[in-house]
Amino acid sequence: MSDAAERKSFGTPDETRSFEFGEARQLKIGGADIGLLTFQPGWRWTEHIKPFAGTDLCEQPHFMYHISGTLRALMADGSEFDIQAGDVALLPPGHDAWVVGNEPVIAIDWYDASNCAKA
């Protein structure tokens, strides 16, 4: 963590990664990478990220605060749960996820966002 005060905005991110049905806006601040993730209805990791990630499941850990929408997570062990607005979720490596319903999922990912949606 940096000793200097910093301020950044997702309105002018350091990097934006766009993909089918979504985008990941990245900020580098305080020695950390923070991501604002947006997934539109119809998005699913195994359909829209897996082809360029090259793994069967998402192997990126996520520590997220959900602002809107419902994201369903399916873990490698078969457990499944929904993450909704106001929830904080930890997804370890080895998961699939998809948008449930017609509302976009918007979440802030506080953990290693620099690798989100990256080949």
Distance CA 78, CA 96 (A): 10
pLDDT of residue 102: 98
Whole-number pLDDT of residue 117: 57
**What's the token pair of residue 92?**
């370890």
Superfamily (CATH H level) for 15-115:
Jelly Rolls (2.60.120.10)
Count CB atoms within 10 A of the CB of residue 57: 17
Q: Which residues of the chain have pLDDT under 50?
A: none
Place of tokens 């998402």: 58
Boundaries of every domain in the chain: 15-115
Q: What is the pLDDT of residue 32?
A: 87
pLDDT number for residue 1: 62
User: Would you state the pLDDT for residue 54?
Assistant: 87
pLDDT value of residue 67? 98
The answer to whether 44 touches 96, Cβ cutoff 8 Å, is yes
- Quick one: pLDDT at residue 16? 94
